[in-house]
Each structure stands twice: as C-alpha cells, then as structure tokens.
Amino acid sequence: MDDKPVAVITGASRGIGRSIAIYLASEGYDIAAIARSVDSEGMQILAKEVLQKGAEFFPVGLDISCTNCQDEVVKNILGRYGRIDLLVNNAGIAPPQRDDFLGMTEDSYDRVMNINLKGPVFFAQKVAKEMIWLRQHSLKFRPVIIFITSVSSVLSSNRRAEYCISKAGLSMAATIFADGLADEDIRVFEIRPGIIQTDMTMKLKDHYDEIIKEGFVPQKRWGSPEDIGKAVASIARGDWDYSSGAVFEISGGLNIRKL
C-alpha cells in the first residue's frame, strides 16, 4: 500500500464536490473524482486544479443510482491505488419540478431517492467493506466516510418533499454507518449544508436573496462551496478523530433555535 492517502468524491465535477476535491488535494490526498461524465468541462477544469495542488487526479464515470455499476468502480479505484482512505458521499439532485407535496409524482420520488439515498448508501456499503479489509491489514490506515446531507433533512420544504425525505434518510444512514463501523475504527461523519451557492440553488436565487436579507439565516449571507470544503478538510486532517457520528451543520446559524 502506497503512503499517500486517496479520497473518493462523488458528484465531484462542480459546486460542493469540486470544492471538496480541491481542498483535499491541498491536504495531500490523491483524488478519485466521480461524476456521471468524465468528459464534462467541469471535470476538465477540476483536473487542472487538482494537478496544480500536486495531487493525482483519477476521473471516474458513474451514475451513483446504478448500484450494479458500483462494484466495478470500487475495483478500478483499488486497482489503481490499492486503498481508499476517505469517501465523501456528495452526489445529489433536486426534484425536476418543485411541486406541492400532494402533487409529487412517483417518478420524481423514485429518481430523487435513487440518486440521493439508495445509491449513496450502497456505494458507502461497498467502500466500507473494503475499508474494513484494509484496516485489518494496516494499523496505519485510518479510513473515514463523510455523508453530505442538507438542512433539508430536518427542515420541511413541502414543494420538494422527495428531496427532504431523501436527505433525512441519508442522515440516518450516516448515524447507522457510524454506529456499525465504530468497532472497525472507521470514523463516519455527516456534514449538513445550509443555503449554499450552487447550480441547484441559483435557480431560486431571488427567493433565497430575499429570505437571507430578511434574517432567515442568522449570519445573513449565502454559504459557499468553500465553506463545505474547509469542513471536509478539517475532518480529513484528523481534527475530529474522537467525534465519529458527529453532525456538522454548515448553515450560517440555521441550527439556532430561538423565540
């Protein structure tokens, strides 16, 4: 096993995933970047940014909802590097239409759940099994799994119910993995972003601008992908080694309960 750690990031080509990849490259990780297309402009730009940090870049094509495709992806990454030190389960989508929950369709529900919940859970399961084997064969190997969820896992938004339900399920998945993998010395964390400037939220920029201005977010600003990247980097450095199962809400204070 080579000494340099390897990070696997899903949904890596843009937004939060892209920022995470760059920060982890700065922390000394080689990057296996997963996206639906390895030929997209976003992946090409990310490759240059990661290489500039002195890290190796391995682009991997995968639709995370294709659970039957995941074994081959894990095998290919291990074949190249012999290890996976950090998995960041970041891939996710918003519903194609923001319908009232009473108008939510089964097709929309299934698509969102397959990409946001089912795919990440089974991908993490496959990686975790490999991490257990690697951990048993190297005391220096200290693996980590991070689930990127959302404040929507605990905040209702009835015009995108399927998204909220998927993220609530992913939050519980993070807890279950943290519990089940503790004896294997595999640390598991949940990062819960708030209103972050990404392609997903830009579709409702005016709405979010207004509610942020009105004080919905106590810190009164948008979050940035870099805010999430820095949090992941802190976990990757080992700053929170005694905190497996912790939830890090990066939301500008949306977690503050007040009268």
Residues with catalytic roles: 163
The two structure tokens encoding residue 115: 């990409």
Q: How far is CA 51 from the centre of its chain?
A: 21
The rounded distance, in Å, linking the Cα atoms of 29 and 7 is 6
250, β-bridge pairs: 193
Compute the half-sphere exposure of residue 48: CA atoms within 13 Å on the CB side of its CA.
5
The dihedrals phi and psi of 248, each to the nearest 5 degrees, come to -105, 105
- Which of helix, strand or coil describes residue 195? coil
The rounded distance, in Å, linking the Cα atoms of 101 and 87 is 32
The rounded distance, in Å, linking the Cα atoms of 71 and 162 is 27
Helix axes 119-137, 161-181, angle to 10 degrees: 20
